[in-house]
Amino acid sequence: MTGRRPQRARDPEARRAALAVATMEVIAEAGVGRTTHRAVAAKAGLPLGATTYYFPTLDDLIAAGLRHAVDMLQTDLDEWAERLRSAPDVAEALTGLMCEYLGDRRQARLEYELCVAAARDEALRPLAEVWMRGLPEILEPYVGAAAGRDICALLDGIILLALVTESELDAPGLTAAIRRLAGT
């Protein structure tokens, strides 16, 4: 035995993705202004050189993180749209989607941290806008534009309440509130 560690196979796409995810986590925890290659490398469990190899500038790294987050959020919204299309009861289906969303509190906190950070940092606004515009657009065919916006405001408030108080979602209450706002 030579005493050398076996080298792990390097998957460039997996490393890029890991760095993008880690970037968003660092931004959520520390803000864009305090995001560094070093902090992202540590969060990703990768060597510092990996961050600068794949993303030479900090702007490149932050842009990759934002693209990844926007893509993930858009994928989630597309799935929500598909599930609502096939749902016999939109209010119940939307409540079910909210229960699932709050099932991963860590991810929900991260996304809401990023939305709050978007109020301070223009670079993060595209991510917040995907949610703020995307969900009302999905709901509009079922409830109209005004009710879609109102329901989204309700959902945001319910999510924040659940995250801050670490409480469970009142599914029957939410379904009833959605129906009231939708006028059904």
Task: Give me 162's structure tokens.
Answer: 């659940």
157-171 average pLDDT score: 94
Tell me, what CATH number does 99's domain have?
1.10.357.10
Query: Which range (29-43, 86-100, 103-117, 166-180) has the least confidence?
Result: 103-117
* pLDDT of 81: 96
Which residue carries 């969900």 as its tokens?
A: 135
Query: Residue 3 — pLDDT band, cuts 50, 70, 90?
Result: low
* pLDDT of 4: 52
- Tell me how crowded residue 180 is: count the other CB atoms within 10 A of its CB: 14
* pLDDT of 6: 45
- Tell me how crowded residue 106 is: count the other CB atoms within 10 A of its CB: 8
Q: Would 7 be classed as within a structural domain?
A: no
Residue 77 · residue 130 · CB < 8 Å: yes
Q: Would 2 be classed as within a structural domain?
A: no
Total residues belonging to the chain? 184
79-93 average pLDDT score: 96
113-129 average pLDDT score: 79
Cα dihedral 18, 24, 25, 26 in deg (nearest 10): 110
CA-to-CA distance for 149 and 87, rounded, in angstroms?
A: 20
Q: Would 1 be classed as within a structural domain?
A: no
CA-to-CA distance for 17 and 33, rounded, in angstroms?
A: 21
pLDDT at 7 over 80: no
Q: Would 4 be classed as within a structural domain?
A: no
Per the structure, how many domains does the chain have? Answer: 1
> In this predicted model, what pLDDT tens digit does every residue of 29-71 receive, in sequence order?
887 788 999 999 999 999 999 999 999 999 889 888 888 888 8
Q: Would 36 be classed as within a structural domain?
A: yes
Query: Which range (6-20, 85-99, 122-136, 168-182) has the least confidence?
Result: 6-20
CA-to-CA distance for 102 and 92, rounded, in angstroms?
A: 15
Angle between helices 90-102 and 125-143 (to 10 degrees): 150
Q: Identify the domain containing residue 106 by its residue range.
A: 12-182
Higher-scoring residue by pLDDT: 125, 3: 125
pTM as predicted = 0.78
Higher-scoring residue by pLDDT: 140, 68: 140
- Count of H helices and E strands in the chain? 9, 0
Q: Would 3 be classed as within a structural domain?
A: no
